[in-house]
Amino acid sequence: MHTKVAIAQKPPVLLDLKATMERALETLEEAASSGAKLVVFPEAYLPGYPTWIWRLRPGGDMALGNRLHALLRDNAVDIGSGGLDKLRDAAAKHKVVVVMGMNEVDSAYSGSTLFNTVVVIGSDGQILNRHRKLMPTNPERMVWGMGDASGLRVVDTPVGRIGCLICWESYMPLARFALYAQNIDIYIAPTWDSGDTWIASMNHIAREGGCWVLSTATALEGKDVPADIPERDSLFNDDEWINPGDAAIIKPFGGVIAGPHHRDKSILYADIALKDARNARKPLDVAGHYGRPDIFQLEVDRSVKPPVLFKDKPD
């Protein structure tokens, strides 16, 4: 039995959550109309990856960085306050599993710290998992806080068992193994990376984990950046490709079957068979017969790690 999957590369409306959500809903409807049962969006899609952090001068552009960060925070998703309700309703309406990357703010904690988050929404509209990026990379640490392992889980969905790692988390061997050890069918890697080296890494993971791998960055040109972004013209050139996207769908044990979707702002589709993942692990099951648990052990602390909360002590 085959399942049709879709990876969306339509660019967000950078720093505009409402407009980007509308684009996501339109994309979801288009993919569902084409028969997709799983729709994947890129890293930090809501309301766009903060690509300016790689262009600001360290220390020299602090004021501009602060302005952009304030806009990002104002347009971040607060899940607890219903920030994903429209997307959840759409997933249930179309009976589609959705994987969505976002900038998340959590009003139940500080209400200010942002997280780089990916959620898995089931075909009934329920949030099955929320994973926050464990370690932001380089200048990303000026934007996002560090996540914990509470979302380092593989979850059952109608399209198979899904696990997610964000961008360079895929270069954390223990994080990968934590997903492999949960009988994963589909490994999803929303990212900002692209190009031959990244695709080679995804092929490695498909071979190592014996699983389907779905990966994508955001296909984004300079002309896609809204005109009202502060200092837009000093940061971006209309004629440049900021990111080519390079969505790819890779079969278990390696081999690209769709993509890379290079400089293409559309939806990438493929039909996949879940049994191929289990079958691929016959010669190499790194969390099973090839794992040597008598020698190696991995312990994962999946408890939630909220920020330190202030409590008055009695006199």
Determine the pLDDT at residue 111: 82
Q: Give the CATH number of the domain where residue 179 resides.
A: 3.60.110.10
Residue 250, pLDDT score:
98
Tell me if 15 is assigned to some domain: yes
Residue 233 domain-assigned (yes or no): yes
30 catalytic residue (yes or no)? no
Lowest mean pLDDT: which of 2-11, 88-97, 240-249, 296-305? 296-305
Provide the residue range defining the domain that includes 256: 2-280
| DSSP run (H or E) holding 177 | helix 173-180
Do the domain assignments include residue 224? yes
Q: Is residue 58 included in any domain, yes or no?
A: yes
Our count of domains for the chain comes to 1
- Residue 305 pLDDT level (bands cut at 50, 70, 90): confident
Give the pLDDT score at 313: 56
> Does some domain include residue 34?
yes
In a domain, residue 306? The reply is no
Task: Give the pLDDT band of residue 109 (cuts 50, 70, 90).
Answer: confident
Catalytic residue status for 167: yes
Please list, in sequence order, all residues whose beta carbon lies within 8 angstroms of the beta carbon of residue 31, skipping any fewer than 6 positions away: 6, 8, 39, 96, 267, 269
For 228-246, what is each residue's pLDDT tens digit?
999 999 999 999 999 999 9
Angle between helices 196-209 and 173-180 (to 10 degrees): 40
User: Tens digits of per-residue pLDDT, 179-198?
Assistant: 999 999 999 999 999 999 99
Q: Which residues of 226-254 are buried (b: 16+ CB within 10 A; e: fewer)?
A: eeebeeeeebbeeeeebbbbbbbbbbbbb
Q: Which two tokens stand for residue 266?
A: 């559309």
Question: Which listed residue (10, 37, 133, 251) is catalytic?
Answer: 133
| Residue 68 belongs to a domain | yes
Going by C-alpha positions, the residue among 12, 5, 13, 10 that lies closest to residue 31 is 5
Q: Which amino acid is at 236?
A: F
184 in any annotated domain: yes
Does residue 29 have an active-site annotation? no
Cα angle vertex 51, ends 48, 56, to 5°? 145
Report the predicted TM-score, pTM, of the whole model to 2 decimal places.
Answer: 0.95
Q: Active site residue: 167, 211, 221, 251, which one?
A: 167
pLDDT, position 104: 97
Q: Which runs of E-coded beta strand occur in the chain?
A: 2-8, 38-40, 97-105, 114-121, 127-132, 154-157, 160-164, 186-190, 212-216, 219-221, 241-250, 256-262, 267-273
